[in-house]
Amino acid sequence: MTRGICLRRQLFFKGNYVCVEIEYSCVRYGINRTMFYGRVAKELNNVKYRKVPKNGDKLSILGYGTMRFPAKNGRIIEQKAIAQLRGAIDRGLNYIDTAYPYHAGASEVLIGKALKDGYREKVKIATKLPPWSVKKAEDMEMILNDQLNKLQVDCIDYYLLHALNDVNWKRLLEFGVFDFLEEQKKKGKIINIGFSFHGDKDTFKEIIDAYDWVFCMIQYNFLDENYQAGRGGLEYAYDKDIAVMVMEPLRGGTLANGIPEKIQAKYDKAQIKRSPAEWALRWIWNHKEVTLLLSGMTEDAHIDENLKIASEVEKDSMAKGELKTIDEVKKMYEDMKKVPCTSCRYCIPCPFGVDIPRCFELFNAKNTMRVSKAKKFYWFQLGGITSKKAYASLCRDCGVCVPKCPQNIDIPKELFMVSKEMEGFTMKIAVFGANIFFAFQRKLAIWRKRK
């Protein structure tokens, strides 16, 4: 099917008024409709690409994050999600990122369906090995095989170790993860090897230096410039010819929706008129070190806007004035934090295991920036689901951290506030439920293997 016909089909199925108009005009003026739609599709299909240094792949600078497919009552709306994904591919996007647990395991299945009819050949698929589901070395191959089945493919183009931090990293090393990866590469089930990251800067460098990675994925946006791997990590990976994919470019939507009034006023005063999302995305693409960014796009409008920006941006193209606007917005967000923690990490390690900066980070995200998912992230990342327990109520008020804080934060007192707001019985239920789910997912994979 040509791109033109496909575009026409998308417009038609959306019941788009424009399509009816075009159809009418084509008939009336005797225009070849296939040619017309083909032309329009070509005009739209000018997304920029950047090269992966170690393999030469040209990837679209916008990757499709599949954590946020359109869903109803917890189930993906298949027809809509497939149409959106294929529509984006028709317009030049060629990198799709998923993971074993996304949409409770249904994301990989959906992608398998969406990539039929010739779409598989047009894209690179990335998915991830969840360290928290690996209980013994053989589990790694079992999970990979399950992923290949769900995706209905023979190989995964970009395979990541999921959400590495010091704990997950050591866990996978104990299970001989590199032997597993090399073996699967030889078998042709994996092509390129990388990792996604949610730890601290030192762990990031340690991981980068431990293997000949083709790519890595880090959380990066203008508010997280110095958080986790941060700008230092981005440059470190780039200097080693490792492609860097960026996740959370809009910080879970915070930088796009529910913008505080005074920050919106700052954007409105800028000479160039852009949506907050566009400012945030352009800032990331301005970095020459970034290969692509992932956006989880639920609405057609998000896809349209992101593809449009991805067809315009260049590296190092933002003017001084534009960067100044971002700096000022960043400063305003910083000033609005409820706990003035700068994530300097001088206060850790805590002898009782509290991840103090992360507790404050997510607490601030929930209160100041209204990140709707901050509480869930807190449960997942600190509650003991994807990593070891590191939540605020583990604090025993020993006082060791207090004199180390350059911001003079009364850490135990603030942690008490955090625990009151972010934890409670709901967290216990969520952690319990998630652990049951991952155990079930593992059992399901064993059952599928036997079958």
45 binds ligand SF4 (CB under 6 A): no
Minimum separation from the CB atom of position 382 to ligand SF4 (A): 13
Kindly tell me which of 200 and 305 has the beta carbon lying closer to ligand SF4: 200
Q: 357-386: which residues touch ligand SF4 (CB under 6 A)? A: 357, 360
Mark 303-342 with x for binding to ligand SF4 (rule: CB under 6 A) and - for no binding. Answer: --------------------------------------xx
Region of 43-51, 66-74, 288-296, 397-405 interacting with ligand SF4 (CB under 6 A): 397-405
252 binds ligand SF4 (CB under 6 A): no
129 binds ligand SF4 (CB under 6 A): no
Closest to 120 in 3D by CA, of 153, 84, 76: 153
Residue 90 tokens, joined = 């028709």
293 binds ligand SF4 (CB under 6 A): no
Kindly tell me which of 142 and 405 has the beta carbon lying closer to ligand SF4: 405
Minimum separation from the CB atom of position 342 to ligand SF4 (A): 5
Q: 210-249: which residues touch ligand SF4 (CB under 6 A)? A: none
Kindly tell me which of 407 and 426 has the beta carbon lying closer to ligand SF4: 407
Minimum separation from the CB atom of position 349 to ligand SF4 (A): 8
* Distance, CA of 97 to CA of 224 (rounded, Å): 21
Kindly tell me which of 9 and 345 has the beta carbon lying closer to ligand SF4: 345
Residue environment code for 85-95, b if the CB has 16+ CB neighbours within 10 A, otherwise e: bbbbbbbbbbb
Mark 414-433 with x for binding to ligand SF4 (rule: CB under 6 A) and - for no binding. Answer: -x------------------
Three-state SS sequence of the chain: CCHHHHHHHHHHHCCCHHHHHHHHHHHHHCCCHHHHHHHHHHHHCCCCEEECCCCCCEEECEEEECCCCCEECCEECHHHHHHHHHHHHHCCCCEEECCCCHHHHHHHHHHHHHCCCCCHHHCEEEEEECHHHCCCCHHHHHHHHHHHHHHCCCCEEEEEEEEECHHHHHHHHHCCHHHHHHHHHHHCCEEEEEEEECCCHHHHHHHHHHCCCCEEEEECCCCCCCCCCHHHHHHHHHHCCCEEEEECCCCCCCCCCCCCHHHHHHHHHCCCCCCHHHHHHHHHHCCCCEEEEEEECCCHHHHHHHHHHHCCCCCCCCCHHHHHHHHHHHHHHHHCCCCCCCCCCCCCCCCCCCCHHHHHHHHHHHHCCCCCCHHHHHHHHHCCCCCCCCCHHHCCCCCCCHHHCCCCCCHHHHHHHHHHHHCCHHHHHHHHHHHHHHHHHHHHHHHHHHC
Minimum separation from the CB atom of position 345 to ligand SF4 (A): 5
Which one of residues 281, 409, 418, 431 is an interface residue with ligand SF4 (CB under 6 A)? Answer: 409
Q: 78-97: which residues touch ligand SF4 (CB under 6 A)? A: none
Q: 171-210: which residues touch ligand SF4 (CB under 6 A)? A: none
299 binds ligand SF4 (CB under 6 A): no
277 binds ligand SF4 (CB under 6 A): no
Minimum separation from the CB atom of position 114 to ligand SF4 (A): 42
312, 286 contact by CB (below 8 A): no
135 binds ligand SF4 (CB under 6 A): no
Which one of residues 399, 403, 425, 450 is an interface residue with ligand SF4 (CB under 6 A)? Answer: 399
Kindly tell me which of 66 and 419 has the beta carbon lying closer to ligand SF4: 419
Minimum separation from the CB atom of position 86 to ligand SF4 (A): 45
Minimum separation from the CB atom of position 206 to ligand SF4 (A): 20
Which one of residues 3, 297, 412, 423 is an interface residue with ligand SF4 (CB under 6 A)? Answer: 412
Residues in contact with ligand SF4 by CB under 6 A are: 341-347, 350-352, 354, 356-357, 360, 395-401, 404-405, 407, 409, 411-412, 415
